[in-house]
Amino acid sequence: MKLTLPINDRARKYGYIIWTKPIEKQVADFLGDREDVEIYFNDTFIGSKRIDWKHRRISIGYSKTRKLPLNLKYFFLKFENNGQLKVSCQ
């Protein structure tokens, strides 16, 4: 299963994968009942990150998102067989 989320200005500036309330159920179905997840961002392991369900976000670090070219508009999230979350951008 895959999930596509937009890279908005707030996500880019503060270093979060952010989702909105209208797609919260879709994200909850994708992430399940996890409280944290191990993340690979653009093929680089960044560690175990807590899922902030209250504020609808996962921190990946602003040092990674501010470097992204402005033409990249979406985060693509996909779970690997070992339970790690792969995040790529397009």
- CATH number at 10 reads 2.40.330
Q: pLDDT class for 75, splitting at 50, 70, 90?
A: very high
In this structure, the strands spanning 85-89 and 36-41 are parallel
d(CA 30, CA 33): 9
* pLDDT tens column, 9-47: 999 999 999 999 999 999 999 999 999 999 999 999 999
- Count structural domains, the chain: 1
Residue 36: give the domain boundaries: 2-89
